[in-house]
Amino acid sequence: MATGDVKVLGAWPSTFVNRVLMALKIKSVEYELIEMNPREKPEILLRNNPVHKKIPVLIHGDKPVCESLVIMQYIDDAWATGTSILPSDPYDRALARFWVAYIDDKWFPLVKVLIETEGEEERTELIQKVSEGLVLLEEAFVSCSEGKDFFGGESIGYLDIVLGSCLGWLRVTQIVLEIELLDRTKIPQLVKWADRFSSDDAVKDVLPKTEKLLELYRKIQAFLKAA
């Protein structure tokens, strides 16, 4: 497929944008990433996502598809050949969707709040909650993977992409707060999974480097302090 047929409106640091790019990479679909600052609400974004006015947006031909999870499922259906992203078994698919909802609605929002929290008591409580969530995800990995390398089995799938897209900012949080969330003594299987995921050829060129995200975070903090 020609690159011009598939465009993604997004920004490289976004976990939600990176999910879409990983899904396209796994499906071997060529695409053009149109980088933008979503806070500026450029005209192309408003035209293609007038409801939520957010990135990412996938434009396939002249048809826009919005919301990262919806886009991932669209990619799996539109390019049905090759590796499947969502599990084929109905129960496995439901289980993957359950854990994805947990990550998006419950767990990752805590990570985003944690890095900005300054109060020691509140930070300690958030660290505990994030760590407890990782233990639950460790248990989910052991159950879903059935001894294989990924949540999706032998290859990266839907749940792998969603959790894996959070790894960069999770590692930045560890560095900024000088804590260890990916603790090999508490979640050994999940830590091994994270290492495998980050180095896998299917996603390693898309997943932002921790150092690059950390540099961006520090620039944003310096700007906010100056303002």
- Give pLDDT tens digits for 39-90: 899 999 999 999 999 999 999 999 999 999 999 999 999 999 888 999 999 9
Q: Note whether 71 and 96 are same-domain residues.
A: no
Q: What pLDDT does residue 1 have? A: 42
- pLDDT band of residue 118 (cuts 50, 70, 90) is confident
- What is the average pLDDT across 127-133? 98
| Cβ atoms of residues 172 and 218 within 8 Å | no
| Cβ atoms of residues 59 and 71 within 8 Å | no
For the chain, percent of residues with pLDDT exceeding 90: 92
Q: Note whether 105 and 73 are same-domain residues.
A: no
Where among 78, 99, 115 does a domain terminate? 78
Q: What pLDDT does residue 3 have? A: 45
Q: What pLDDT does residue 4 have? A: 60
On the question of pLDDT at 219 being above 60, the answer is yes
Residue 221 lies in a domain: no
Task: Report pLDDT digits (tens) over 149-205.
Answer: 999 899 999 999 999 999 999 999 999 999 999 999 999 999 999 999 999 998 999
Could you tell me the residue range of the domain that residue 70 belongs to?
3-78
User: How many domains in the chain?
Assistant: 2
Q: Supply the CATH number for residue 186's domain.
A: 1.20.1050.10
- Roughly what angle, to the nearest 10 degrees, separates helices 188-199 and 120-145? 80
Amino acid identity of 58? L
Beta bridge partners, 65, equal: 58
- The Cβ of residue 128 has, within 10 Å, a number of other Cβ atoms equal to 11
- The Cβ of residue 117 has, within 10 Å, a number of other Cβ atoms equal to 16
Q: Which residue has the tokens 């890095």?
A: 115
Residue 222 lies in a domain: no
109 exposure class (CB count in 10 Å sphere: 0-12, 13-18, 19+): exposed
Average pLDDT of the chain is: 95
Measure the CA–CA gap between 147 and 141, rounded to whole angstroms: 9
Q: Note whether 69 and 157 are same-domain residues.
A: no
Where among 49, 78, 107 does a domain terminate? 78
